[in-house]
Amino acid sequence: MKNLFLGIFLLFASVLAVGAQTVVAAHAIRARSIIMPEDLVVLDKDTIGGIADAADIIGKEARVNLYAGRVIRASEIGPPAILERNQLVIMVYSIGLLSITAEGRVLDRAGVGELVRVMNLDSRVTVTGRVLFDGRVEVSS
Give the model's pLDDT for residue 102.
Answer: 97
Share of the chain above pLDDT 90, in %: 77
The C-alpha atoms of residue 137 and residue 107 are separated, in whole angstroms, by: 12
Are 138 and 92 within 8 A, CB to CB? yes
The class (CATH top level) of 15-77 is alpha beta
Q: Is the pLDDT of residue 77 over 90?
A: yes
Q: What is the pTM of this model?
A: 0.70
Query: How does residue 19 score in pLDDT terms, banded at 50, 70 and 90?
Result: low
Same fold, 15-77 and 81-139: no
Look at residues 111, 22, 107 and name the one whose alpha carbon lies nearest to residue 59.
111
Helix (H) or strand (E) holding 140: none
Domain ranges in the chain are 15-77, 81-139
* Arithmetic mean of pLDDT, 85-89: 97
- Averaged pLDDT, 80-93: 96
- Sign of the four-CA dihedral 103, 121, 95, 97: negative
CATH architecture of 81-139: Roll (2.30)
